[in-house]
Amino acid sequence: MKVQHKADIAKNGQAAKSDKPLKTERIKGAEAVVKCLIAEGIKTIYGYPGGAIMPTYDAMYHYQDELQHILARHEQGAIHAAEGHARVTRETAACIATSGPGALNLATGIADAYLDSVPLVCITGQVFSGVLGTDAFQETDVIGCTMSITKWNYQITKPEEIPSVFAKAFYIANTGRPGPVVIDITKDAQNGLLDFHYEKMTNIRTYHPRLKAKKSALEKAAELINKAKKPFILAGHGIQIARAEKVFTAFIEKTGIPIGCTIHGLGTIPNDHKLHTGMLGMHGNYGPNIKTNECDVLIAIGMRFDDRVTGNLEKYAKQATVIHIEIDPSEVNKNVFAHVPIIADAKDALTQLLPMVKKRKHTKWLAEFRAADKIEYEKVIKRDCGPSPEGEIRMGQVMKEVSDQTKGQAIVATDVGQHQMIAARYYKYNTTNSWVSSGGAGTMGYGLPAAFGAKFADPKREVICVCGDGGFQMTIQELGLCAQWNVGVKILLLDNNFLGMVRQWQQLFFDRRYSSVELVNPNFVMIAEGFGVKAKEVSDPKKLKQAIKEMLAHDGPYLLHVRVEKEENVFPMVPSGAGIGDIRLE
């Protein structure tokens, strides 16, 4: 393959047309990077400096009023903060790191953003182009390393490539199915001069992200929906990404179809909406799981039938006719066959479908879900939301209490493990863009920095960070971020002294052989205070309510260290390999 003509890249993608004469200014590549970010509306960038990115940091010094840099304590912290930022604003967020170890410390977050469709532009410094491929100091093949975890990536070696590559990167990150892009930029490209001129990109000839729904498919779907006796909707992340909550609500209220949501679909409609039946999947609610296997028409919207949702595919919704509305064609027919595939943006598809469907009610069918809810309440929920017989606090109790006190209006950012599932189950999500969590990748260490990014981006909203004692220690250093910027993240540390989720599996599937899951923990309150974050410990269920009240009343970041029941298990549970119909309640 012949070497690419780098200047061609601008031609491959087209910039927006403008009649104004082309005005350029001669500036350094590093300054151009900053100007591109500003032109794309980036006001905050999360990052960590180092040798190969120093020219850009120097350029940022001159633009501090327009572009604020947030120095995390670890690059992983920086990228998760950017993810939190993007998750609640639905706008592209940016992060920046140096070459080699700096870039590789971003990798976990890049993979995380890729799996959860989070729009990010990640900038990494690179060694001088003349020494590329020679194992120069802090050289790693960032493009090679991030190839399979980015929507797109590109290495800039010449300053004149900067504007068109940035325009392309921003266009790709937040169109179609959003995702992370990486721009690796050599030090000489940052130092060199170019004639700078910036135009946003509006079209790439090989990339057609806004596919319109096909009329024939919509007609087929409408007919199925109008005739269905037991229709059921699976609401995924794609609805909120498309900002389609309103038309979605109109659609379900007209058709009367009950909905279950995926974990990232939490908050699509308020939890207490009469058609909301709960969460799908491994630790989801009983009703939506078993009813998926009883419905006649299954309408999946903006979701990808992840294995945590479907369980064993051989036993998943075999009876149902499946309508799949999804923007990423490669997700259709990947795991579950779609009888009617609708490849489109959720908002576009639902807007077109709305006038085609009949007003209906499914009272009896909905009552079946409510009957299932009762069973789950008696067997699981009632127990989970009270203290243990030994008088210990339970995680469910904490989440219910904080949900009540915040009226389900807060943003909940979680880490990964049992507490994450409990946070998904027992917080009542009443507003959209409120769930910030690592779903596809299940990245421990995500919670605290993502909560910081969410609160930084949307300071008016209450942000509750729910962590386990394991994951919290993976990015505990970002307490420093919260303290430095006085960003009032409220951290609920649910401490069971175990890597709880792994312990649960060891208990259930490995005959209680607890292999390396018990933690020897530090004094968390002291650590938080050391960082300058106010903290308190609570272990008495009777004092929980007051402790949460104090936490919420505090102006600034706060850590509430809650000692919870040590060997609590999360139920319901679809054991891995089982069908969703075999969901266990105990």
Partner 1 sequence: MQKEYTISVFSEDMVGLLSRIVTVFTRRHINIESLVTSESSMKGIYRFIVVVTVNEAMVEHLVKQIEKQVDVLKAFHYENDEIVYQEVALYKVPTAIFLKGNHVETVVRAHNARILDIEEDYIVIEKTGHKSQTEALLRELEQIGIYEFTRSGRVAISKHHEPLNQYLKEVEAEVAQ
CA distance 273 to 59: 50
Stretch that binds ligand TPP, among 30-38, 116-124, 191-199, 466-474 (CB under 6 A): 466-474
Query: Binding residues for partner 1, per CB under 8 A?
Result: 1-4, 8, 11-12, 143-144, 147-148, 151-153, 155, 172, 203-208, 211-212, 328-330, 332-334
Q: Which residues contact 297 (CB under 8 A, 6 or more apart)?
A: 224, 225, 228, 230, 231, 232, 320, 321, 322, 323
Q: Is 436 within 8 Å of 464 (Cβ atoms)?
A: no
471 binds ligand TPP (CB under 6 A): yes
| Helical segments of 305-441, H only | 307-310, 346-353, 363-376, 382-384, 395-406, 418-426
User: What totals of helices (H) and strands (E) does the chain contain, helices first?
Assistant: 24, 22
Q: Which residue, 81 or 290, has its beta carbon nearer to ligand TPP?
A: 81
Q: Which residue, 2 or 359, has its beta carbon nearer to partner 1?
A: 2
Q: What character string, x for contact with ligand TPP (CB under 6 A) and - otherwise, covers 487-516?
A: -------x-x-xxxxx--------------
b (16+ CB within 10 A) / e for 200-209: bbeebeebee
b (16+ CB within 10 A) / e for 264-290: bbbbbbebeeebbbbbbbbbbbbbbbb
Q: Which residue, 92 or 506, has its beta carbon nearer to partner 1?
A: 92
Stretch that binds ligand TPP, among 155-163, 358-366, 409-417, 548-556 (CB under 6 A): 409-417
Selection from partner 1, ligand TPP, none that 145 binds (CB < 5 to 8 A by kind) is: none
Residue 75 is a catalytic residue: yes
User: 168, 187, 230, 428: which is the annotated catalytic residue?
Assistant: 187
Region label for 428, one of left (φ > 0), alpha (ψ between -120 and 50) or beta (otherwise): beta
CA distance 79 to 118: 11
Q: Which residue, 94 or 172, has its beta carbon nearer to partner 1?
A: 172
CA distance 13 to 202: 8
Q: Which residue, 155 or 351, has its beta carbon nearer to partner 1?
A: 155
Shortest separation between residue 161's beta carbon and partner 1, angstroms: 12
444 binds ligand TPP (CB under 6 A): yes
User: Which residue, chain included where needed, has tokens 């970002």?
Assistant: 478
User: 25, 43, 66, 137: which is the annotated catalytic residue?
Assistant: 137
CA distance 402 to 491: 11
105 binds ligand TPP (CB under 6 A): no
Selection from partner 1, ligand TPP, none that 151 binds (CB < 5 to 8 A by kind) is: partner 1
Residue 501 is a catalytic residue: yes
Q: Is 303 within 8 Å of 235 (Cβ atoms)?
A: yes
Q: Which residues contact 260 (CB under 8 A, 6 or more apart)?
A: 232, 233, 234, 235, 277, 278, 279, 280, 284, 285, 287, 288, 289, 291, 292
Shortest separation between residue 99's beta carbon and ligand TPP, angstroms: 23
**Which one among 56, 293, 418, 433 touches ligand TPP, defined by CB under 6 A?**
418
Region label for 53, one of left (φ > 0), alpha (ψ between -120 and 50) or beta (otherwise): alpha
Q: Which residue, 181 or 570, has its beta carbon nearer to partner 1?
A: 181
Selection from partner 1, ligand TPP, none that 502 binds (CB < 5 to 8 A by kind) is: ligand TPP
CA distance 56 to 63: 11
Q: Which residue, 31 or 568, has its beta carbon nearer to ligand TPP?
A: 568
Rounded-to-10 torsion of CA 354, 356, 360, 362 = -80
Q: And the tokens for 39?
A: 């032109």
User: 31, 75, 245, 326: which is the annotated catalytic residue?
Assistant: 75
**Which one among 150, 352, 433, 443 touches ligand TPP, defined by CB under 6 A?**
443
Strand-pair partners of 45? 69, 94
109 binds ligand TPP (CB under 6 A): no
**Which one among 468, 480, 541, 572 touches ligand TPP, defined by CB under 6 A?**
468
Q: In 10 A of CB 576, how many CB atoms?
A: 12
76 binds ligand TPP (CB under 6 A): no
User: 60, 501, 551, 573: which is the annotated catalytic residue?
Assistant: 501
CA distance 231 to 364: 12
Shortest separation between residue 337's beta carbon and partner 1, angstroms: 9
Selection from partner 1, ligand TPP, none that 329 binds (CB < 5 to 8 A by kind) is: partner 1
Shortest separation between residue 315's beta carbon and partner 1, angstroms: 19
* CA angle (48, 54, 58) in 5-degree steps: 100
Selection from ligand TPP, partner 1, none that 374 binds (CB < 5 to 8 A by kind) is: none
Number of chain residues interacting with ligand TPP (CB under 6 A): 20
The residues annotated as belonging to the active site are 75, 137-138, 187, 501
Residues that bind ligand TPP (CB under 6 A): 415-419, 442-445, 468-471, 494, 496, 498-502
